[in-house]
Amino acid sequence: MGMSNTIGQVLYAEDDNNDVFLLQRAFQKVKLEGFQTVRDGQQAVNCLRACESDPAKSPLPTLVLLDINLPFLSGLEVLSWIRELPAFKLLPVWIFTSSNQDKDVELAYRLHATAYVTKPSSANKLVEFADALRAFLKRSPSAAFDYSRVPGYRPPPVIQP
């Protein structure tokens, strides 16, 4: 299951073993380490709760990748839970999903997702995604990031009042 006492740089909530395997391969290709997977939304919450209660034993991930369609709690429910906690206000959370529906994109940004990315369909695009993610993680936290370099990135919609 990949659970360990320390959380690497990226916490990835995904229930599809094939998607996990493909992203792990892409991460290896770009030499991105520190990848931990949880299989459902409740495990993601439990993992982050452990970080909050004992940061020395379970350091906070640098970034959370959430699929939307997860068992027990959806990725959007996990995102909502994350944003309610002051300790996680600035934690980057990327929605990483096969859903390209405008309503999901809009809701994710309303819940303060950092980015919304539709999963690339080719192995090459997945490696490009991993490389862009690595660049995001390596930048200084206050530096701007050009999301247009992320394959599958969906910008926030212009929400009419």
Longest Cα–Cα distance of the chain, Å, equals: 45
The answer on pLDDT for 113 being more than 60 is yes
The answer on pLDDT for 118 being more than 90 is yes
pLDDT value of residue 4 = 35
- pLDDT bin (cut points 50, 70, 90) of residue 2 is very low
Beta strands 10-13 and 63-66 are parallel
The answer on pLDDT for 151 being more than 90 is yes
Q: 58-80, pLDDT tens digit by residue?
A: 888 999 999 999 999 999 999 99
Measure CA of the first residue to CA of the last residue in the chain; give whole Å. 44
Residue 41 contacts residue 11 (beta carbons within 8 Å): no
